[in-house]
Structure 1
Amino acid sequence: MPLPKSLRHSTHDISRALAVAAFLFAPHFAGAAEPAPIPVGLVAALSGQSAASGEAITRGLAVAIDEINQAGGVLGRPVVLVRRDDESNPGKGIAAARELISREHVAAFFGGIDTPVSIALVPIANKEKVPFLGVWAAGTGITHNGANPNYVFRVSAVDALVDQKLLRYAVTAAHAQHPGLMLIDNPWGESNHAGLEAAAKSANVSLAGAESFESGDTDMIAQLTRLKAAGADAIILVGNAAPAAEVIRSLDRMGWNVPVISHWGISGGRFPELAGPSATKVAFVQTYSFFKASPRGEMVLAELEKKYPAIKGPADVIAPVGTADAYDAMHLLALAIAKAGSTEGPAIQAALEALPPYDGLIKRYAPAFTAGDHDALDADDYIMVHFAENKIVPVD
């Protein structure tokens, strides 16, 4: 089905590139049967406290796949998305990835919000030689995994760079001199602990201390009391929505009105509902905002509004970082498959490392990846936002 006339010109560059790729690489047989689709997978939290993240990623992939298929598909074949729910559980993520590879024969798969899940998927992608594109989880070790060749790529934030952004914001915007750390007790928290310590050392900032919490904890007063006694004048928070909300509720019970600067895990669930009114005070990082959309962003927003009637404007895009990252990652994957002329993993992996410059939603990728750098985004691509009720809006 063709795009509406009002959107055709804004997607001309996408359509032209994909149409050329389809013409060059697709077999042309008169009277041939319908071409078999190219399946791509998604392993993400589709249920539970972080289900909003999985839905956001799904929407970004779906809009991109619609555009790709309307332009003729890739290699003359339509792209189809096959989803599996990891429930934020590494074991279930592993089972889901293996099923996508062995049963669904996906050309590549995307990964969701949780760093522990993504870390668990890295060996599978590298062993099976199937590209894995991360579109949310920020743990540095996901892409910096030591494999050669490395089948893991990312269109998302990287903890080592996010930590620099969070610390700089705490110092410049919150005027903190001794920020304290509240970190989830898992590999993601460990990744950020190392990154924040390095960022503080580089900026000559003295941290007040670091405390950890479990995902199921419901009272963080003991940890926060220790940070307060150590002179913390801001809190840098790393955790997903539910436990991070308990940190905010504990601060409220203490009556401690301290600035909180958070990683983006709070945007993938019901943080405003769980944290209460103080949720609006928390500044956190993102890689994209539909409030400051380019023409490409306006086109994507229009497609989201058409496809999902609950979206009436930029404030209604849930977890926009997941949508934007996934949208760009899908288009980059499609271009790599076209460049490779194949759906075989090694050919796609090599093509991802050698893509030409590409104008995406988030940025111009020039290029997105190289053999030595599988992270498409850098520190200049991060912005700070906050919740206005249930809407994510820029802090400016």
Structure 2
Amino acid sequence: MKNMKKWFFGMLVFILAATLAACGNKEEASGGSSDSGDDSGEIKIGSIIDASGSAAPLGKPEEETIKMIIDEVNEQGGIDGKKIKLISIDSKSDQNEAVLGMKKLIEQEKVTAIIGGTISGNSLAMIPLAEKAQVPYISLAASKQVNKPDDNSPREWTYKTAQGDDVVIPKLLEYLKDEKLTKVAWLGVANSYGTSGHEEFEKLKGEYDIEAVIEEEFEATVNDAKSMLTRVKKADPQAIIVWGTAQESAVVTKNIREIGLDVPIIESHGIGTKEFIELAGNAANGVIFPAGKLLVVDELEDSDPQKEVLNQFKESYEGKFDKAASTFGGHAYDAVHILVNALEEVGTDKEKLREALENTEGFVGISGVFNMSSDDHNGLKSDSLTMIEINDGEWTKGD
């Protein structure tokens, strides 16, 4: 009897040990013990997007596009048989939320790479964490400071897919000069995006014989800019530059027309979303701005190298979400595809991944044709932009 009891006890111990081992193996298979999830058959990628809050008109299409493309990649078998696991965080148009999201993705989720940063201020706040942790980070924000700070040297681990103000401002100034609009008002949003754009404007305006007869700032939360615009009206500019994103720029644009300022309005690429037109109403008509070619893809020549890619993205996005594709979703499209290409080439080793991103060459995307290098972690030039005019609530080619 004693031997029988020992036998049963031994069997119970064996079964329990086997069960625990199986559970342990199951946890490892879900990525629980791997820094990037790569050993478990999946690759963990993080995204931090302003899917809600004031920047949502930009961020929501970015979030939707990232999820759509990663689903497509996984449906096609993933990367070398490994599926991508996306960990998506809504930073709610809040800088603190963006920083907390970055810490979570790096320290807890241990992701292979991170995409996001809808607005420049959030991206700039997130960068030090990515650089310190040596995690490849692809920003979707526009400020030149994101990828090329004041010392004019690229950050080591940070890239971006939006056209920077160092690309956009020359296009805008060239348009003003061609139209002989040499005396202008500069109205910029009081945040990192506005500051960066203004610095580039100040640096380059003399080369194009452009003079700012008045310069003003408005808050990103502006509800009424009429008092500021009264000063602008007295300065008698030939044109007004409004440098902001959709929500705040719509308020300023409406107010310009409401006080009877009848001069050309030239804006930044930050208004390239239908929400701007909806918010600004009839005041949006006649507004001109530089932006990527997606908004006027139907007017492009068939020989344009981007046309086929633009049409494919437009068809996929609009078919899935039943709303117009935006250039902001395009920035996300480019980021995911550039990252996937690098992962397919070198795998999940972060240093090799960083090098592969840096050597992106000839990638035909939504924002342009990318040619990155050790000196340029954006890889776009002014030819990635076209001047667009809003007529009857629709985008039309303005150059």
Cα distance between partner residues in 2 of 1:362 and 1:149: 21
One-letter amino acid of the structure 1 residue matched with residue 47 of structure 2 = L
Mark the CA change 1:94 to 1:390 in structure 2 (over 3 Å): closer, same or farther. farther
Percent identity between matched residues is 27
What is the DSSP-based 3-state SS (H/G/I as helix, E as strand, rest coil) of the residue aligned with 2:173? helix
Higher relative CO (Cα under 8 Å, sequence separation at least 6) belongs to 1
Mark the CA change 1:90 to 1:389 in structure 2 (over 3 Å): closer, same or farther. farther
What is the DSSP-based 3-state SS (H/G/I as helix, E as strand, rest coil) of the residue aligned with 2:159? strand
What is the DSSP-based 3-state SS (H/G/I as helix, E as strand, rest coil) of the residue aligned with 2:156? coil
One-letter amino acid of the structure 2 residue matched with residue 105 of structure 1 = K
Cα distance between partner residues in 1 of 2:168 and 2:332: 19
The gaps in structure 2 that reach 5 residues or longer are 1-38, 301-305
Question: In the alignment, is residue 161 of structure 1 matched against residue 174 of structure 2?
Answer: no
The answer on whether the counterparts of 2:41 and 2:81 sit within 8 Å (CA) in structure 1 is no
Give the structure 1 partner of residue 338 of structure 2. 332
Give the structure 1 partner of residue 284 of structure 2. 279
The equivalences for 1:124-135 within 5 A come to 124-135=129-140
Question: In the alignment, is residue 372 of structure 1 matched against residue 375 of structure 2?
Answer: yes
Cα distance between partner residues in 2 of 1:241 and 1:295: 27
Give the structure 2 partner of residue 37 of structure 1. 42
The equivalences for 1:1-396 within 5 A come to 36-135=41-140, 137-145=141-149, 150-173=156-179, 175-268=180-273, 270-289=275-294, 290-291=297-298, 292=300, 294-308=307-321, 310-311=322-323, 316-317=324-325, 320-341=326-347, 343-365=348-370, 368-388=371-391, 391-395=394-398
The answer on whether the counterparts of 2:269 and 2:290 sit within 8 Å (CA) in structure 1 is yes
The answer on whether the counterparts of 2:239 and 2:266 sit within 8 Å (CA) in structure 1 is yes
Give the structure 2 partner of residue 18 of structure 1. none
Cα distance between partner residues in 1 of 2:199 and 2:183: 17
Q: Deviations over 1:239-297 (max 9, x none)?
A: 12222122122212311112111112223573223222111221122223143462222
Q: CA deviation at 1:117?
A: 0.7
The answer on whether the counterparts of 2:285 and 2:390 sit within 8 Å (CA) in structure 1 is yes
TM-score, normalised relative to structure 2: 0.81
The answer on whether the counterparts of 2:154 and 2:374 sit within 8 Å (CA) in structure 1 is no
The answer on whether the counterparts of 1:110 and 1:133 sit within 8 Å (CA) in structure 2 is yes
Q: CA deviation at 1:127?
A: 0.7
Q: Deviations over 1:356-384 (max 9, x none)?
A: 5434444443xx32111101211110122
The answer on whether the counterparts of 1:142 and 1:152 sit within 8 Å (CA) in structure 2 is yes
Q: CA deviation at 1:171?
A: 3.1
Mark the CA change 1:107 to 1:394 in structure 2 (over 3 Å): closer, same or farther. farther
One-letter amino acid of the structure 2 residue matched with residue 296 of structure 1 = V
What is the DSSP-based 3-state SS (H/G/I as helix, E as strand, rest coil) of the residue aligned with 1:211? strand
Q: Deviations over 1:71-108 (max 9, x none)?
A: 43223211232221112221111011111222222211
What is the DSSP-based 3-state SS (H/G/I as helix, E as strand, rest coil) of the residue aligned with 1:202? helix
The gaps in structure 1 that reach 5 residues or longer are 1-33
Give the structure 1 partner of residue 303 of structure 2. none
One-letter amino acid of the structure 2 residue matched with residue 101 of structure 1 = I
Total equivalences in the alignment: 352
Q: CA deviation at 1:152?
A: 0.6
Cα distance between partner residues in 2 of 1:383 and 1:222: 33
Q: CA deviation at 1:307?
A: 2.2
The answer on whether the counterparts of 1:51 and 1:269 sit within 8 Å (CA) in structure 2 is no
What is the DSSP-based 3-state SS (H/G/I as helix, E as strand, rest coil) of the residue aligned with 1:208? strand
The answer on whether the counterparts of 2:388 and 2:396 sit within 8 Å (CA) in structure 1 is yes
Cα distance between partner residues in 1 of 2:199 and 2:155: 26
